Amino acid sequence: MAHRIGRPPREGSPAQGIATAIFAAALTTTGCQGMAMTQDSVPTASDSAQLGPLTEWPLRFLRHNFGITTYALQEYTVVYADRPYSGGPRPAREDVHPNSLNASGAGHLMIRNFPPPAVVKWKSRDGTPLEADVDIGEIFRDELVLYEAPREEISDRTPMVNPDIVMEINDRTINVYMRAYLSLKAPRIPDNRYSNSRNDLVLAWSRTY
């Protein structure tokens, strides 16, 4: 149906009075809704943590990435955040490249803190079957970012921190590490402008079974 545009009512007429009242009511209602939306849109302290450049310390994280690295075992399966991981025989860490652990990363991204514990089943180097539930949420229950850089060296322009959590299964031992990317105020190597960050692998938890 086509919409027609009629002539505006005469000034001072009853029709104009009605139109004015309707417009005023609509304006009042719109103003109230705008205020409510503004108030609702203000994030809580927990929701707003680390959504942009750093403004608060200590550093906290709301989401994390997850990965697995393995050594000195015959086979393994891990289920965490509804994603399965599995693999076959792996040599001891000392028989692999010396930087292999430090180079390990996380391929499962942006996991909301925290899913149920990781279910780990594996066979150690001598073939012993082992099982463990590793509670990532309990290990990082305070949601604090772990890092080794001195506070005074970290730039306030560090972007949002979604750290890597890396689980290492090594023979009969499970280690859990955190790696967080942090921008620095100045390069660590003066002549290398690309050395203005750190992402150290920090051990958070370890248990031998």
pLDDT tens, residue by residue, 97-150: 888 999 998 999 999 999 999 999 999 999 999 999 999 999 999 999 999 888
Cis peptide before 187 (omega within 30 of 0): no
Q: State the pLDDT at residue 196.
A: 79
pLDDT over threshold 90, residue 90: yes
Confidence of residue 174 (pLDDT cuts 50, 70, 90): very high
Cα–Cα dist 116/134, whole Å: 9
* pLDDT, mean of residues 179-183: 90
Give one word for 81, left, alpha or beta, with left for phi > 0 and alpha for psi -120 to 50.
left
Write the DSSP symbol of residue 103: H
Q: Which of 29-38, 84-93, 129-138, 139-148 has the lowest mean pLDDT?
A: 29-38
pTM value is 0.71
Cα–Cα dist 4/105, whole Å: 64
**Residue 164 CA: distances (Å) to CA of 27, 107, 201:** 50, 9, 9
**Residue 67 CA: distances (Å) to CA of 11, 187, 198:** 73, 28, 19
pLDDT over threshold 80, residue 43: no
Cα–Cα dist 170/188, whole Å: 32
CA-based Rg of the chain, rounded to a whole angstrom? 28
Cα–Cα dist 35/41, whole Å: 10
Q: State the pLDDT at residue 39.
A: 31
* pLDDT, mean of residues 54-67: 85
Could you give the percent of the chain with pLDDT greater than 90? 53
